[in-house]
Structure 1
Amino acid sequence: MADYSKLAKDIVEHVGGEENVNSLTHCITRLRFKLKDESKADTETLKNMQGVIKVMQAGGQYQVVIGSDVEDVYDQILLSTSIGEKNQDESAEADNSVSGNKKNSFMDKMTDLISGIFLPFMGAFAGAGLLKGFLVLFTTLALLDKTSTTYTILYAASDGIFYFLPVFLAYCSAQKFGAKPFISMAIACAMCYPSMTALFADKEVAVTFFSIPVKLISYPSSVLPILLTVYAQSKLEKGLMKVIPKIIQSIVIPVVDFAIVFPVALIVIGPVTDIVSKGIAGGIQAVFAFSPAIAGFAMGALWPLFIVFGLHWGFVPIILNNYSVLGYDYISPATFGANFGIAAACLAVFLKTKNKDMKLVSGSASISALIGGVTEPGIYGVLMKNRKIFIGMCIINGLSGIIAAVTGCIRTAQVPVNLLTIPALFAMAGPAIVVSITFSFVVVFLLTYFFLYKDAV
């Protein structure tokens, strides 16, 4: 795809024009518009536009699936319109007016909220996770000594974003809730401040705040405490803005935030969310313990469907919570085979089809899934057009999930899942994960090529 500027112009025109756009963000494959009135968008024209794979309306967003070129198209939209300025002004209040003021379901709102908070730093998150995975591999193979300064430097580079995760979450959640982002970040920094972590580590010190007992928890790498803290901060700030003269708001509000929100976070929000976090982790762990086979099959088989509707983002905070509470995640390995199953189905279609357009789409989609771990082009561009392949692939992915779950595969870092990261996945989860993803790839390929795909030239 060469002319990104024309594609960008055409997309903006057919979503109802710049004046119909409240805001725009993007993920790995999708442009995510928030429109004032979705009925003004010409969905059929967009679906048939060269360079557009699919159009989705989910999570309170009008999503245009582009594929791996999405960032280039996004940049062109920002260059040629004032939509980027609208993004800066976006707040929780703006969310209430999108899509023609239609009421979105609770699931739509949660999907939009979670994706909006986690998407912006997911690239850095994946890169750091990949480095951490390779460090595990290198130390396991005795190629790198954990006591060396080289390891210390590389580990800091890989672990920094995980340790200071509350700071990243603070900024992104402030954007969604309408709080002052730099104050949110400062509160998150205070949570991770060395003296605070030292107090948590010293079990013999009774921590109080003006004689009020404080039950400290470990805030580095945590998820829920900062999210609820920023939400409370946003409510406090909006209330203060109504009663404090505008001329002194910039001075008074930050002081009140630091003096009230941070202590409340330590006294109330932190301990409560700690109980909730452990409850969530324990509950899901109990399901996997009760029947790893059923849980693994469900995760593997349904994962492509979760991606279709954007529901896979709902698992991100649960997975991160597992890292924080348990030190590892046992849910996501059951879904690893899905990436390879999607890649295999697309590769089989590519090798068998004589249709030039389908060969182009399926070939690029298989590479995207296999090398980049990006599966949306394959799902929307190839598999959803053939229901038999999609269903067959989901079933095989489910069986792959059983292998991962029954053998107790875990992930200790948020490593991308693709062909290049198999060594890192092996280092974390052992040989069973290689068996799981190989099974999915081989069986889906054979099933699709010999039985499920009927070429239509």
Structure 2
Amino acid sequence: MNKKNGQYEALALAILKKVGGPQNISSVTHCMTRLRFNLKDSNIPNDDEVKKISGVLGVARSGGQYQVVIGQTVSDVYAALLDVSKGKLTAEPPIDLNVDKDLEKKNKLSLKNIGNAILNKLAGSLTPLIPVLMVGGVFKMLMTILGPQMLKILAVNSDLYRTFAFVGDACFYFLPILVGYTAAKQFHTSKVLGMLLGAIMLQPDFVKISMSKAAFSIYGIPMFKVNYASSIIPIILTVWVMSYVYAFLNKHIGPTLRTIFVAPITVAIMLPISLCVLGPLGGIIGDGFSTMLVKFGNQGGVATILTIVTIGALWEFMVLTGMHLVLMTTLLLVFTQVGHEGVVSVGALCATFAVSGVALGAALKAAKSKKDRALFWGFFVSAFIGGVTEPTLYGLILPHKRTFLSLMIGGACGALYGAIAKIINYMPAGASNFLSVLGFSGGVSVMNLINAIIAAGIAFSVAALATYLIGYQSKISSTK
């Protein structure tokens, strides 16, 4: 028996014991991530005890079933479960992957359920990308450590530095294609078409069109110009709508013509929907929200303090949706006019340090899980040293809803101190890691830098402490 099979059998035995043994199981099957038990006595399993089993990601009771969340190895654990039952359990066909979609429809329509559903799909689309994000984070971290920002071992124009750069950039630039695949899995639709729609957003000629000032239309419909590189929300929205279009065409086009016409017609329908409506939607909303923040931040006094605190709390969420771009444009504009900036950059600084704090707090909290601990330490190093926050955002904060609160508290607290101390940033294009505080080293007083370090330290420490105290165990149980 190899090591992995032994681990699966040990996990299966532990689960079997906690649910009451074969004698308490009427039937058992599995879907993409869960073992699904129909139990004779559903009061026997203790949810907290089952959750403590190493390898169990969560527990759910829904649709009359007792569901144990395993993850992508569920089929292996299911096979081991049948083996260790010594013939008392028999194999059943895996459940239709749409079963959870059916169960979700039974939930009452409420803001909470809608919010949970959105987070479920975001996490389900982004969690599989953790290996890619970690690759990007590590290569960008090597650029930072070995490049001119720190050790000065590699020159910017050296072959090795440029190699690290194009590998790191590729991991993030082509996210629309990767998310096109993972989102298609979430919405149970064509994966290759999901990837294709993501690729269209990054096609070189289309990128040139998006960057140009000339008007452009799709089927005569004016297209709002958006740069989709590294974006995630537009492609997730696109694939979501595509899943309905694709399913409708599959249902109404006969088997003979389906292979030829369904895919081209789907893409033809999605082009204006994606590029003229869904894709620009985030940008339009972001422009309005960001412009409002900028105007409010220019009022001075309490208004400016509240704006900086809001940016500190919400900056990373704006980054996720692309809403931060207007703020970045404003930041650069202010720099070109007066040579320094003290609103957007203050909130962004504290939010970035808060991400590192969340990763550290989760790593310290994950004392009983070697797998989580190693992963979260990797996230921390990537964010704090490498200046790459995406692995923490997509791999920790989105799948674990409690950490949203920790991130916001940390970013807001640090930003509040920075706003009251009136710190000013003198370097618009500095480092994005722990060295980013050096951008506040200009000016006539060293206290500006000291206060910036204190603000960043508050954001980092409060986020880490909040994560450690609140925990990260509140998982999105329906993630596939």
For the criterion TM > 0.5, the same-fold answer is: yes
Q: Does structure 1 residue 7 correspond to structure 2 residue 27?
A: no
Give the CA RMSD over aligned residues. 5.1
> Corresponding residue for 1:356?
none
> Corresponding residue for 1:312?
none
Deviation at 1:58, TM superposition (A): 9.7
Q: CA separation of 1:407/1:317 partners in 2, compared to 1, >3 Å: closer, same or farther?
A: closer
Aligned length: 372
CA distance in 1 between partners of 2:312 and 2:205 (Å): 45
Q: CA separation of 1:428/1:245 partners in 2, compared to 1, >3 Å: closer, same or farther?
A: farther
User: 2:11, 2:55 within 8 Å by CA — same for their partners in 1?
Assistant: no
Deviation at 1:76, TM superposition (A): 4.0
CA distance in 2 between partners of 1:19 and 1:428 (Å): 57
CA distance in 2 between partners of 1:190 and 1:370 (Å): 34
CA distance in 1 between partners of 2:108 and 2:434 (Å): 45
Deviation at 1:217, TM superposition (A): 1.5
Q: CA separation of 1:76/1:316 partners in 2, compared to 1, >3 Å: closer, same or farther?
A: farther
Corresponding letter in the other structure for 2:280? P
CA distance in 2 between partners of 1:217 and 1:271 (Å): 6
> Corresponding residue for 1:178?
188
Q: 1:266 aligns with which of 275, 282, 285?
A: 275
CA distance in 1 between partners of 2:212 and 2:167 (Å): 27
> Corresponding residue for 1:426?
434
Corresponding letter in the other structure for 1:193? Q
CA distance in 2 between partners of 1:86 and 1:232 (Å): 26
> Corresponding residue for 1:168?
178
Q: What TM-score, normalized to structure 1?
A: 0.63
Q: 1:129 aligns with which of 132, 137, 159?
A: 137
Deviation at 1:212, TM superposition (A): 3.5
Q: CA separation of 1:273/1:400 partners in 2, compared to 1, >3 Å: closer, same or farther?
A: closer
Corresponding letter in the other structure for 2:357? G
Q: 1:234 aligns with which of 236, 243, 252?
A: 243
User: 1:170, 1:181 within 8 Å by CA — same for their partners in 2?
Assistant: yes
Q: CA separation of 1:40/1:191 partners in 2, compared to 1, >3 Å: closer, same or farther?
A: farther
Deviation at 1:235, TM superposition (A): 1.4
> Corresponding residue for 2:124?
116
Corresponding letter in the other structure for 1:199? I
1:141-170, Cα deviation, whole Å (9 max, x unpaired): 233222233222211111112111111111
CA distance in 2 between partners of 1:103 and 1:278 (Å): 33
Q: CA separation of 1:368/1:200 partners in 2, compared to 1, >3 Å: closer, same or farther?
A: closer
> Corresponding residue for 2:255?
246
> Corresponding residue for 1:94?
99
1:194-234, Cα deviation, whole Å (9 max, x unpaired): 0101112222x332334433333212222222122212211
CA distance in 2 between partners of 1:54 and 1:232 (Å): 30
CA distance in 2 between partners of 1:22 and 1:263 (Å): 39
1:70-105, Cα deviation, whole Å (9 max, x unpaired): 88x757426647999949x62xx4323348956582
User: 2:176, 2:229 within 8 Å by CA — same for their partners in 1?
Assistant: yes
Corresponding letter in the other structure for 2:413? I
User: 1:335, 1:397 within 8 Å by CA — same for their partners in 2?
Assistant: no
CA distance in 1 between partners of 2:376 and 2:324 (Å): 29
1:403-443, Cα deviation, whole Å (9 max, x unpaired): 3664499xxxxxxxxxxxxx983145555687347756999
CA distance in 1 between partners of 2:62 and 2:123 (Å): 9
CA distance in 2 between partners of 1:405 and 1:58 (Å): 42
Q: CA separation of 1:62/1:220 partners in 2, compared to 1, >3 Å: closer, same or farther?
A: farther
Q: CA separation of 1:143/1:74 partners in 2, compared to 1, >3 Å: closer, same or farther?
A: farther
Q: CA separation of 1:297/1:259 partners in 2, compared to 1, >3 Å: closer, same or farther?
A: closer
Q: CA separation of 1:362/1:200 partners in 2, compared to 1, >3 Å: closer, same or farther?
A: closer
> Corresponding residue for 2:356?
336
Q: CA separation of 1:368/1:169 partners in 2, compared to 1, >3 Å: closer, same or farther?
A: closer
CA distance in 1 between partners of 2:416 and 2:38 (Å): 44
Q: CA separation of 1:7/1:399 partners in 2, compared to 1, >3 Å: closer, same or farther?
A: same
Deviation at 1:324, TM superposition (A): 7.2
Q: Does structure 1 residue 435 correspond to structure 2 residue 460?
A: no
**Structure 1 SS opposite 2:433:** helix
Corresponding letter in the other structure for 2:99? A
**Structure 1 SS opposite 2:31:** strand
Q: CA separation of 1:267/1:85 partners in 2, compared to 1, >3 Å: closer, same or farther?
A: farther
Q: Does structure 1 residue 291 correspond to structure 2 residue 291?
A: no
CA distance in 1 between partners of 2:356 and 2:62 (Å): 24
Q: Does structure 1 residue 208 correspond to structure 2 residue 217?
A: yes
Corresponding letter in the other structure for 1:163? Y
> Corresponding residue for 1:384?
none
Q: CA separation of 1:267/1:273 partners in 2, compared to 1, >3 Å: closer, same or farther?
A: same
User: 1:197, 1:218 within 8 Å by CA — same for their partners in 2?
Assistant: yes
Q: CA separation of 1:63/1:319 partners in 2, compared to 1, >3 Å: closer, same or farther?
A: farther
Q: CA separation of 1:186/1:159 partners in 2, compared to 1, >3 Å: closer, same or farther?
A: same
Deviation at 1:130, TM superposition (A): 3.4
Deviation at 1:24, TM superposition (A): 3.6
Corresponding letter in the other structure for 1:6? E
Corresponding letter in the other structure for 1:4? Q
User: 1:341, 1:441 within 8 Å by CA — same for their partners in 2?
Assistant: yes
Return the structure number with greater helix share.
1
Q: What TM-score, normalized to structure 2?
A: 0.60
Deviation at 1:241, TM superposition (A): 2.3
User: 2:136, 2:169 within 8 Å by CA — same for their partners in 1?
Assistant: yes
User: 2:226, 2:280 within 8 Å by CA — same for their partners in 1?
Assistant: yes
Q: Does structure 1 residue 23 correspond to structure 2 residue 31?
A: yes
Deviation at 1:46, TM superposition (A): 6.5
> Corresponding residue for 1:403?
414
Corresponding letter in the other structure for 1:254? A
User: 2:313, 2:407 within 8 Å by CA — same for their partners in 1?
Assistant: no
Q: CA separation of 1:438/1:4 partners in 2, compared to 1, >3 Å: closer, same or farther?
A: same
Q: CA separation of 1:36/1:103 partners in 2, compared to 1, >3 Å: closer, same or farther?
A: farther
Q: CA separation of 1:210/1:22 partners in 2, compared to 1, >3 Å: closer, same or farther?
A: same
CA distance in 1 between partners of 2:157 and 2:206 (Å): 27
Larger radius of gyration: 2
CA distance in 2 between partners of 1:178 and 1:76 (Å): 22
User: 2:233, 2:320 within 8 Å by CA — same for their partners in 1?
Assistant: no
> Corresponding residue for 2:377?
371
Deviation at 1:122, TM superposition (A): 1.9
User: 1:20, 1:36 within 8 Å by CA — same for their partners in 2?
Assistant: yes
Q: CA separation of 1:51/1:273 partners in 2, compared to 1, >3 Å: closer, same or farther?
A: closer
